Structure 1
Amino acid sequence: MASIVERPKVDGSITYQVRWRDGGGRASKVETENFDTLPAAEQFRDLVNAHGQNWPHGWVRGQGFAEEPPVPGDQPLIDWALRYVSRLTGIDDRTRDDYEREIRLHLSLLSHTTHSGLVVPATVCNVTSEDVTDWVRAEQKGLPDPDDSEKWLRRKADPKSIRTRHGLLFSVFQAAIEADPPLRPKNPCKGTHLPRTDDHIEEEMCFLERDEYTRVRVEFTDPDAVDLVEWLVGSGTRWGEATALQKRDLNLNGATPTATITRAWKKAAKGESERFYLGPPKTKRGRRTLRLTPTQVVMLRRRIVGLRPEDFVFRTGQGAVWHHANFYNRRWRPAVEAAVAKGLTKRPRIHDLRHTHVAWLIAARIPLPAIQFRLGHESISTTVDRYGHLVHALDDEISIAVEAVLAVPAQQGLRVVREA
């Protein structure tokens, strides 16, 4: 087996010499290679052992692995990824910032392992499907702190985050394929086996039964907060949509009173003076019109008395716009904690009121396509993926329908009667 020998130099520094016998034979020639650092020597020693005590394929003594011919236009993957994101259209600055952060913190962990086992920085052209698989596994495992077993240098990524980052990486490589001229022939992200989003025990979403919601609801003492909570669970709107609702969005007269969702609060990019600004809803289908119940009409009429058309419907008692952090810390969390102290077994988030709204609709046998439009999902697949597992209330009706068909006795012995 190859070994490492420290060799002091005249100037006091140390070099590390890897020694082994060619082919592993006892009488074989002793081969050596010198390195300035111990990690480099250890990596080379492992390569020699992996190659049966022979020089690693492609290694040039004193120089390292012979470089592969450079691909015209090749460049560091991170540089290409950041340039790709900077040129994306149809996204806001906040989303662009999020993409750039994912690239710096996570896509930068991707590296390329050569056929000889040497790990080198990732470029647009050298990354393989095996490299992408190694990166996914590294995201799953995280990086524990070697000095403290209870801490992490990089925490494990959940399956949903890995899928999101892999999707961004896929787009980055696809742009390289579609470049003129193309930088690579195929996408190394294609066919990657990704972790399932349901591989964990705890459900990400929390659904409240009616009595569970009531337990939380009665703990609110602020009537303005009560109105907002009732609207969130009764409309299924997102927080940013509900708090951006204005008087002019309401049509409370006539036989079909409605509320139109046309805008939502967005988080501004870093460096901008305003932290939030009004923009379009999350998706194109997010622009939607909701039919109102009589109870909602009464509540909304009370809230818009004396308001101008552009005034927000849901505001604090002092007339200010609700901010998520303040509402959560001063209203929502105290109410949930009080309910838990009295026996509630769940700890719902504000967004779980939207999930609860869906659960109630499904329990009332509302079809998923109708729920899709009410929630503003761009695709029915989003609705099915998130809430399809709740559609078990129709099992009895499905069984009855199937039984009704199969129970009809098949007509046997039919004969064709020919006219004379």
Structure 2
Amino acid sequence: MATSRYSIRQRESGRSQARWYDDAGTRHTRMFDNRTEAKRFLNQMTADKQNGTYRDPRDAELPFRKVAEGWLATKVKRPKTLAGYESLLRTHLLPTFGDRQVGSIKTSDVRRWLADMQRKGCAPGTIRNAYRVLTPILDAAVENRYMAANPCGPLKRDDFPKPRRTTMLFLDAEQVARLAAEIPAPYDVLLHFAARSGMRAGEIGALRMENVDLLRKVVHVRESLSEVAGALHYLPPKTGEERTVVLSAALTRMLRDYLVAQPQKGPRDFLFTAPGDPTAPVRHSGWFYGNVFKPAARRAGLSPRLRFHDLRHTCASLLIAENVPAKAIQEHLGHSSYAITMDRYGHLYPAATDDVREALERAFG
């Protein structure tokens, strides 16, 4: 936009109309209360154009909904993750911001939205997850010059509710055996496999015979099963990397006995299958969770909060109790980093203050 291609006209109403042309030669106008404000607007626009920070004022009028749709279209995520984003948008973001001009959203608006969610009784985790979707959407708006700065930037820790700390559930070996005893065959073997392998539910569901090597007592984790709106998706493992999980001799024997009692399986068949359909994988949610796992947990006298995923925590806690190094546990569970393993399970390691004191005394005398 050339610096001379603007003008100000005084209207009969007494207000001032700023007029300018874009690079395509299209004329635009905006009304101001007086000439001084119109002049300031045009001067700022011209300066921004010259230093490369110009934003078309019309872009700020784009509805938040459109920016969110554009952001979501760029996300290459797992189907369940995308479904979670869509749910948070639909339930918590679009009702408040959907029709707002994205350039009009201010930090005070975001604070008010956070407070409203708390008043409605939304869980702290839900509020933070919704905020984690709002922030990158507004980052995209800044990147595309729909707004000058992200209004989420100035927010402080006090603007968010404190997370509710829930105690992580672990079972000991006796409780695992008690729970498995309440589960009808052949799914008692599935229960033992989950607790002893520490694999994620989706990894167990997608485990095929070609990735089970009982001779070497290992399984290879190469796929994960994800269910979204009734549709099954076979994806790479959560971290994107394959791994090998070792099996104990006892678990290997269980699997051998289990397979002897099963119809002959081919390389692409699933290790654990749905009832009545030997070609379909067993899914930990739905039928298994409601009709097998939860009733068994009640009969075994275990916590009603117990989830299938807690069998993975159980595996980690039992390995820690046997003094397995955290790095080995990270690799066994398939965590993307050592830090994640320590963040989740570091509190289970015994305090080592005496060891540190003795080591320092040996080193320095």
Q: Do these two structures clear the TM 0.5 threshold for a shared fold by scoring above it?
A: yes
Q: Secondary structure at the match of 1:190?
A: coil
Larger Rg: 1
Once the two structures are superposed, what CA deviation does each residue of 1:30-82 show, in whole Å capped at 9, x if it has no partner?
Answer: xxxxxxxxxxxxxxxxxxxxxxxxxxxxxx9xxxxxxxx89331212122112
* Whole-angstrom CA distance in 2 between matches of 1:387 and 1:198: 21
Q: Secondary structure at the match of 1:299?
A: helix
Mean Cα displacement is larger for which, 160-169 or 366-375? 366-375
* Whole-angstrom CA distance in 2 between matches of 1:261 and 1:359: 21
**Gap change, CA 1:346 and 1:87, over 3 Å in 2:** closer
Once the two structures are superposed, what CA deviation does each residue of 1:312-356 show, in whole Å capped at 9, x if it has no partner?
Answer: 11125643532321111221122111122xxx4554111111111
Alignment match, 2:265: 307
Alignment match, 2:118: 140
Alignment match, 1:231: 193
Matching residue within 144, 148, 152 for 1:189: 152
Q: Is the 8 A contact 2:182 2:299 kept in 1?
A: yes
Whether 2:78 is the aligned partner of 1:126: answer no
* Whole-angstrom CA distance in 2 between matches of 1:257 and 1:211: 23
Whether 2:315 is the aligned partner of 1:357: answer yes
Distance apart, 1:398 and its partner CA: 3.6
**Gap change, CA 1:368 and 1:137, over 3 Å in 2:** farther
Structure-1-length-normalised TM-score: 0.65
For the aligned residues, what is the CA RMSD?
A: 2.9
**Gap change, CA 1:123 and 1:209, over 3 Å in 2:** farther
Distance apart, 1:92 and its partner CA: 4.0
Amino acid of the structure 1 residue aligned with 2:137 = V
Distance apart, 1:190 and its partner CA: 2.6
Alignment match, 2:129: 164
Distance apart, 1:252 and its partner CA: 2.4
Whether 2:60 is the aligned partner of 1:95: answer no
* Whole-angstrom CA distance in 2 between matches of 1:299 and 1:128: 60
Matching residue within 278, 281, 286 for 1:325: 286
**Gap change, CA 1:387 and 1:139, over 3 Å in 2:** farther
Amino acid of the structure 1 residue aligned with 2:101 = T
Matching residue within 48, 69, 76 for 1:82: 69
Q: Is the 8 A contact 2:125 2:163 kept in 1?
A: no
Whether 2:221 is the aligned partner of 1:261: answer yes
Alignment match, 1:105: 91
Q: Is the 8 A contact 2:222 2:243 kept in 1?
A: yes
**Gap change, CA 1:175 and 1:298, over 3 Å in 2:** same
* Whole-angstrom CA distance in 1 between matches of 2:339 and 2:95: 31
Amino acid of the structure 2 residue aligned with 1:364 = E
Amino acid of the structure 2 residue aligned with 1:275 = A
Alignment match, 1:292: 247
Q: Secondary structure at the match of 1:125?
A: helix
**Gap change, CA 1:283 and 1:258, over 3 Å in 2:** same
Q: Is the 8 A contact 1:247 1:311 kept in 2?
A: yes
* Whole-angstrom CA distance in 2 between matches of 1:93 and 1:404: 50
Alignment match, 2:11: none
Amino acid of the structure 2 residue aligned with 1:334 = P
Whether 2:289 is the aligned partner of 1:334: answer no
**Percent identical across equivalent pairs?**
29
Alignment match, 2:357: 402
Amino acid of the structure 2 residue aligned with 1:247 = M
Q: Is the 8 A contact 1:86 1:96 kept in 2?
A: no
* Whole-angstrom CA distance in 1 between matches of 2:257 and 2:245: 19
Q: Secondary structure at the match of 1:276?
A: strand
Structure-2-length-normalised TM-score: 0.74
Alignment match, 2:12: none
**Gap change, CA 1:264 and 1:201, over 3 Å in 2:** closer
Once the two structures are superposed, what CA deviation does each residue of 1:79-101 show, in whole Å capped at 9, x if it has no partner?
Answer: 2112210232x224443333222
Q: What does 1:5-20 align with in structure 2 at a 5 Å threshold? A: none
Once the two structures are superposed, what CA deviation does each residue of 1:286-335 show, in whole Å capped at 9, x if it has no partner?
Answer: x2111121112222233445311011111256435323211112211221
* Whole-angstrom CA distance in 2 between matches of 1:291 and 1:76: 52
Distance apart, 1:249 and its partner CA: 0.2
Whether 2:198 is the aligned partner of 1:240: answer no
**Gap change, CA 1:192 and 1:129, over 3 Å in 2:** same
Amino acid of the structure 2 residue aligned with 1:283 = T
Matching residue within 215, 232, 251 for 1:276: 232
Q: Is the 8 A contact 2:225 2:235 kept in 1?
A: yes
* Whole-angstrom CA distance in 2 between matches of 1:197 and 1:217: 39
Q: Secondary structure at the match of 2:133?
A: helix
Amino acid of the structure 1 residue aligned with 2:289 = Y
Amino acid of the structure 2 residue aligned with 1:282 = K
Q: Secondary structure at the match of 2:206?
A: coil
Q: Is the 8 A contact 2:200 2:309 kept in 1?
A: yes
**Gap change, CA 1:217 and 1:194, over 3 Å in 2:** farther
* Whole-angstrom CA distance in 2 between matches of 1:370 and 1:139: 41
**Gap change, CA 1:321 and 1:400, over 3 Å in 2:** closer
**Gap change, CA 1:381 and 1:132, over 3 Å in 2:** farther
Q: Is the 8 A contact 2:205 2:282 kept in 1?
A: yes
* Whole-angstrom CA distance in 1 between matches of 2:147 and 2:188: 57
